[in-house]
Structure 1
Amino acid sequence: MKWASPFALKRAGILGMNRRNVAYIGQYNKRSLYPLVDNKLKTKLLAEKYQVTVPRLLGTVVQQHEIEHVAELVTNYASFAIKPAKGSGGKGILVITGRQGDDYVKASGSVITQEDVKRHMTNILAGLYSLGGKPDVVIIEELIEFDDRFDGFSFQGVPDIRIIIFQGYPVMAMLRCATRASDGKANLHQGAVGVGLDIATGRCLNAVQFGEVVSHHPDTNRALNEIKIPYWTEMLELAATCYDMTDLGYIGTDLVLDKNKGPLLLELNARPGLSIQVANGCGLLPRLRHIEKLKRRHSSAKERVLYAMDAFGLPDELPPVGQTGS
């Protein structure tokens, strides 16, 4: 989908970066609350308190000397993920999917040694991947088991779902599918496919890669219009609860679907990007203004989800993916 001019952008209701920063992030997100989402460990512990499901925490590494005992910590786990607590954009995440003797197998299939893993943890502690380069903490958590219903929709990496929550209401969502170009990461700027999702049903509306509309996954050739997210209402309710959990008015919630545990919260973002509008083929601004004009806000996450599904859901009959309007 392309917008030819600033006037076309305005007609489409596109939320720009400056307006987002001032009118929504600046107005609805208190800076004192940022640590709740900028630190994945704090987010995880807070989520558990609010009974929001998250990948199970296996352990943490706070001091350099603790790295020597990591092998003992994960001895009973063939697969796990190592993350920086204050990382962003997927930087510093090491995914281990198996073992070869004392060595570890990465998601790409390459093999690394225990020393490689220890070196990676040392870099995390030193702040190599953290916001502002500040000293960090290593998080080791249980690896998400890829749900079979997403086979063919992602290359190597686990697809995740970004839902924008405004004042507790889900206003826009997309599925981010890893590709060969994105190196197995769900990062649209690196070449992942962004699939816009209907708020009412969780089905595919539109899909883009590098800003261009696509109809099939570039590596698997799976038709993207087949996508309809299972447990969709539960996903929306989980995301909406994150508003009550953090008191942040404008947040991006990143969720995954685990084969055995269902919807899980991966992380939260107090400064969510704007490419979700491109994936959906429409702007955020009309939906944000709709919520701002509500005379009475709904108190529970369930009520807010039902309202949003009714207010922002799209018609049943839509053009096929790859044939969306301009």
Structure 2
Amino acid sequence: MLNWLKKYLASPRQLRQLGVLGLNERNLACISAHNPRSSFPSVDDKLLTKLLAEDYQIATPALLGTIRHQAEITRFEGYLPKQGGFVIKPAKGSGGKGILVIQYVSGNRYLKASGEWISREAVQRHLSNLISGLYSLGGHPDAAIIEKLIHSAKDFADFTFEGVPDIRVIIYQGYPVMAMMRLSTKDSDGKANLHQGAIGVGVDLTLGTAIQAVQHDRPVFIHPDTGSPLEKLRIQNWHYLLDLAARCYDMTGLGYLGADLVVDAEQGPLLLELNARPGLAIQMANGTGVKPRLQAIDQHRAELRGPAEVSEVRVKVAQQLFGKQVCSARQLNVE
């Protein structure tokens, strides 16, 4: 996960100086310590997340249908919109696995985000594998969610390839502590998944602007498919997006989680999904470690007097503590 940092830094001591959070420490000090097991189902099951978000008036992508049994697969087209694309995803998937993005339908042919056409039979096979548990946590039988396709806001048109960029925000005890935007590429098959070749761009918590970017664990400065300089990336309605992410703490009771957000061209900001075990690559995208920020929040909470802070106040506190971070590849000793 941190191969890029390890390659360009001289010693583990420098990693510690940057405050890099490692896998074991994340599991013990963050996930085990602050995430009650009883709250995991509301995050691991995307259908439950949608229902919970509805109760908390947090908008999510429109649900078109759910397929739970093999016998229902042949009727999947009954859930599809008359116009536009759709997305098929596992209810209990992780790491972006099993997500099929269809941009356009023509007869029995389906156009993927990558530009590849696939057959109706291929879609049915994908649904069959998904329901069988091929992409689910633990390999258990799963349900297929069919959602309306999100159309990316025009502001991001120059920063993504045939897909919708999403925003990952790490929330600790209700406070946003680090954020990045994941930009789809041709390598990632139009998906905003870093492991598949998407770009991770660190985002300043105050300004909503790009700090630095990585792809395949290496620094990048322009989008490989559009040619746009990544330093020009700016996210509108940034404070509102952070507040939406912070409210997910109140919704789930999880003290350490990743909130994945998108900005739809028509509906605006939406909660895509939540992750009770967010990865560590966000530190590479930001060029700094998250551990000092967790410690700063612990100190802030220890000094609080009176009632707990509401989400909007928590966002302002985080922006005051962690905003306007100026990082570059040079600061990580990259030649």
* TM-score bracket for this pair, using the shorter chain length: over 0.9
Partner of 1:9: 15
State the distance in 1 between where 2:107 and 2:28 align: 53
Q: How big is each residue's C-alpha offset from its partner over 1:67-102, in whole Å with a ceiling of 9 and x where there is no partner? A: 222222215243111111011111111111112123
Does 2:314 correspond to 1:304?
yes
Deviates more, 1:238-247 or 1:208-217: 208-217
Deviation (angstroms), 1:18: 1.1
1:150 and 1:322, CA in 2 relative to 1: closer, same or farther beyond 3 A? Answer: farther
Q: Which runs of 5+ in 1 are unaligned?
A: none
Listed as ranges, the matches of 1:6-85 within 5 Å are 6-74=12-80, 76-85=82-91
Partner of 1:124: 130
Listed as ranges, the matches of 1:131-146 within 5 Å are 131-146=137-152
Aligned residue pairs total 323
State the distance in 1 between where 2:71 and 2:294 align: 48
Q: Which runs of 5+ in 2 are unaligned?
A: none
Q: Secondary structure at the match of 2:164?
A: coil
Q: Is the 8 A contact 1:81 1:96 kept in 2?
A: yes
Q: Secondary structure at the match of 1:152?
A: helix
Listed as ranges, the matches of 1:164-203 within 5 Å are 164-203=170-209
Normalized against structure 2, the TM-score is what?
Answer: 0.92
CA RMSD of aligned residues (A): 1.6
1:135 and 1:104, CA in 2 relative to 1: closer, same or farther beyond 3 A? Answer: same
Q: Secondary structure at the match of 2:297?
A: helix
4+ runs deviating over 6 angstroms: none
Partner of 1:270: 276
Greater share of helix residues, 1 or 2? 2
> Residue 214 of structure 2: which of 185, 208, 217 is its match?
208
State the distance in 2 between where 1:120 and 1:211 align: 30
Q: Which amino acid aligns with 1:313?
A: G
Listed as ranges, the matches of 1:222-241 within 5 Å are 222-241=228-247
Q: Which amino acid aligns with 1:84?
A: P
State the distance in 1 between where 2:84 and 2:119 align: 14
Normalized against structure 1, the TM-score is what?
Answer: 0.94
Does 2:290 correspond to 1:284?
yes
Identity %: 53
